[in-house]
């Protein structure tokens, strides 16, 4: 089974996707990390992220590997472990920029389809149910109020001892929503056949229960 989990930043999709993948013994693919890997590595290489041609050529050559180990998923970019280096707002802003570029999306979507081809995968992102796997057996679209998503991201970063400001994070989340929802290519939107879950008022455990319920229904159908 391919399980597609889409939604905006901070909707809780990666927490849920990781948990579900572990429970089902499926692979988990965080496609946002792939866009982040492109932005991070291209920037390190001194490439201007607005230069679509050069970013496209760079993406074509880039080697991205996911390694699942008991400590959680690791990501290697051109052989170097980049796991702890991608989840910050500077890389996030770069990722939003390259994610709006046609060539980058073509290359990464093809990679994601290749990874998912053997099945038994939980993939999270923005366009998994609409573009990457339009025939996925189960599609979930998770959303939550921007304020609540900001609060979650704030607590997550704070727990990593990062110096963060809640109002700034909420403003950044709203800005990213605008960019992700309004870009021309593959804008963030639920697939017509996605099950929508608003996680604003639910705990992680409650959302996991809801998703597991949907999976069981699919498995028995």
Q: Which is nearer to ligand DC, 72 or 220 (CB)?
A: 72
Q: Which residues pair with 74 in a beta bridge?
A: 67
Q: Would you state the structure tokens that stand for residue 90, as one six-digit string?
A: 């500077």
Q: Which is nearer to ligand DC, 159 or 220 (CB)?
A: 159
Enumerate binding residues for ligand DC (CB under 6 A): 9, 31-32, 35-36, 92, 95-96, 99, 125-127, 176, 180
Q: Output the smallest distance, CB 177 to ligand DC, in A.
A: 9
Q: Which is nearer to ligand DC, 113 or 219 (CB)?
A: 113
Distances (CA, A) of 173 to 50, 94, 101, 152, 200: 21, 14, 20, 11, 15
Q: Which residues pair with 123 in a beta bridge?
A: 4, 29
Beta pairing, strands 121-125 & 27-30 = parallel
Q: Output the smallest distance, CB 152 to ligand DC, in A.
A: 13
Backbone angles phi, psi at 186, to 5 degrees: 45, 60
Q: Which is nearer to ligand DC, 44 or 219 (CB)?
A: 44
Q: Output the smallest distance, CB 62 to ligand DC, in A.
A: 15
């Amino acid at each position: 089974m391919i399980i597609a989990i889409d939604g905006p930043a901070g909707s809780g999709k990666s927490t849920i996707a990781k948990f579900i993948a572990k429970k089902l013994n499926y692979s988990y693919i965080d496609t946002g990390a792939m866009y982040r890997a492109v932005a991070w590595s291209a920037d390190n290489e001194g490439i201007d992220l607005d230069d679509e041609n050069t970013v496209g050529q760079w993406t074509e050559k880039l080697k991205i590997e996911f390694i699942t180990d008991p400590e959680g998923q690791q990501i290697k970019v051109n052989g170097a472990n980049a796991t702890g280096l991608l989840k910050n707002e500077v890389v996030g802003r770069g990722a939003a920029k390259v994610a709006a570029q046609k060539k980058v999306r073509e290359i990464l979507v093809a990679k994601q389809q290749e990874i998912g081809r053997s099945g038994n995968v939980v993939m999270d992102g923005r366009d998994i149910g609409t573009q990457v796997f339009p025939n996925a057996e189960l599609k979930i679209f998770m959303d939550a109020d921007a304020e609540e998503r900001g609060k979650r991201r704030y607590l997550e970063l704070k727990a990593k001892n990062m110096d963060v400001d809640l109002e700034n994070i909420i403003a950044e989340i709203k800005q990213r929503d605008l960019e992700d929802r309004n870009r021309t290519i593959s804008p963030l939107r639920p697939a017509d056949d996605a099950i929508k879950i608003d996680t604003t008022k639910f705990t992680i455990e409650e959302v996991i229960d809801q998703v597991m319920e949907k999976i069981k229904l699919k498995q028995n159908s």
